[in-house]
């Protein structure tokens, strides 16, 4: 059997090389794993928020539609009251009714604008969450790929005899 004898100094170099590479692998692997876990938990949290916001979306659309219908109805009532008042401009009763219907139309219009703004904000929040989830998933994929490359590089340390 033909075996080469490794000097104690050579053995120390090999052991030092192996232990250093294992230390680097373990420390980077641990860091990548904690980063990956934090990204996974952030993605899960964001997906839960996204689901809640998407559940609210249908209700917000209905609220906006109802508010728009109410504004149209109030405007029609206001127009009718104004027309009646123009036919009898001296009537205090018709003037008061026209004033009240105008106030209601103004209030309903403000509410409709608020509902529209709420829907726009909800859509913006949903879009922002989708973008954040996609960005974090890309980061996670990069971490997973780098973890694989660390494993490959640690496994492929050459051993010279």
**pLDDT at residue 34 in the model:** 74
Q: Give the list of residues 6+ apart from residue 118 with CB closer than 8 angstroms, or none.
A: 60, 63, 64
What separation, in Å, do the N-terminal and C-terminal C-alpha atoms of the chain show? 15
**pLDDT at residue 158 in the model:** 53
6: which DSSP letter? P
- In which residue are the tokens 């990956």 written? 36
Domains and CATH numbers, the chain: 28-151 (1.10.287.620)
**pLDDT at residue 7 in the model:** 56
pLDDT (tens place) for every residue of the chain, 161 residues total: 555 554 555 556 665 566 565 555 555 555 556 777 888 888 889 989 988 999 999 999 999 999 999 999 999 999 999 999 999 999 999 999 999 999 999 999 999 999 999 999 999 999 999 999 999 999 888 877 776 655 555 455 554 54
Whole-model pTM over 0.75: no
- In which residue are the tokens 């726009």 written? 120
**pLDDT at residue 83 in the model:** 94
**pLDDT at residue 122 in the model:** 96
């Amino acid at each position: 059997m033909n075996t080469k004898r490794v000097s104690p100094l050579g053995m120390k170099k090999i052991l030092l090389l192996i232990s250093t590479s294992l230390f680097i692998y373990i420390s980077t692997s641990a860091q990548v794993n904690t980063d990956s876990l934090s990204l996974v938990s952030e993605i899960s949290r964001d997906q839960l928020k996204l689901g809640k916001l998407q559940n609210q979306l249908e209700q917000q659309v209905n609220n906006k539609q109802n508010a728009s219908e109410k504004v149209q109805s109030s405007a029609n009532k206001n127009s009718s009251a104004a027309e009646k008042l123009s036919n009898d401009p001296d009537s205090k009763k018709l003037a008061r009714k026209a004033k009240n219907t105008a106030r209601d139309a103004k209030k309903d219009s403000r509410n409709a604008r608020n509902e529209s703004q709420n829907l726009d904000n909800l859509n913006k929040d949903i879009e922002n969450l989708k973008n954040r989830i996609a960005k974090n998933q890309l980061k996670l994929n990069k971490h997973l790929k780098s973890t694989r490359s660390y494993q490959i590089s640690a496994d492929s340390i050459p051993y010279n005899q």
